[in-house]
Amino acid sequence: MRKRAIVPPALRAAAEQLKMSPAILSGGHLFLTGSTGGNADGTMPGDAAIQMRNALGKIGAILAEAGVGFDAVVEMTTYHVGLREHFEAIDRVRLEHFSEPFPAWTAVEVAGLRRDGAVIEIRVIAEMDTSD
């Protein structure tokens, strides 16, 4: 089995520090590590919609580094602290990035996330074009 790490330049230092890959390309699919919605300066915004937009921005950069866009996403799992309090706001942001056919989506309520102040973490799986 062959696998390859996808690491956009903007995420290289964090990936090296954490000893992880932002994404792994394997078997015709791209598996992304969960992304939280911290700002570029490392601070965590208090607004769930901003966190969702920031997390999807990171995901978009990883997808672009692999040569695909949000339309390649086939599955999304989101982890939420306070899901019911912010679901409508993050759903509006989700619809700014995804269109039909929408990826399969599972939203999970959790007690906490690794980053202080994070209320959402998103991981996706994207299908890669292997017709080359």
pLDDT tens digits, one per residue of 16-72: 999 999 999 999 999 999 999 999 898 999 999 999 999 999 999 999 999 999 999
pLDDT tens digits, one per residue of 84-98: 999 999 999 999 999
Give the mean pLDDT of 86-115.
97
The model's pTM is 0.93
Give the domains, in start order, of the chain with CATH numbers. Answer: 3-127 (3.30.1330.40)
Q: Which pair of structure tokens corresponds to residue 80?
A: 């939420």
Q: Side chain identity at 36, as an amino acid letter?
A: T
Q: Could you tell me how far CA 5 lies from the centroid of its own chain?
A: 15
Given this model, what pLDDT does residue 14 score?
87
Supply angle C-alpha 22, 25, 26, rounded to 5: 135
Give the mean pLDDT of 75-83.
97
Given this model, what pLDDT does residue 129 score?
77
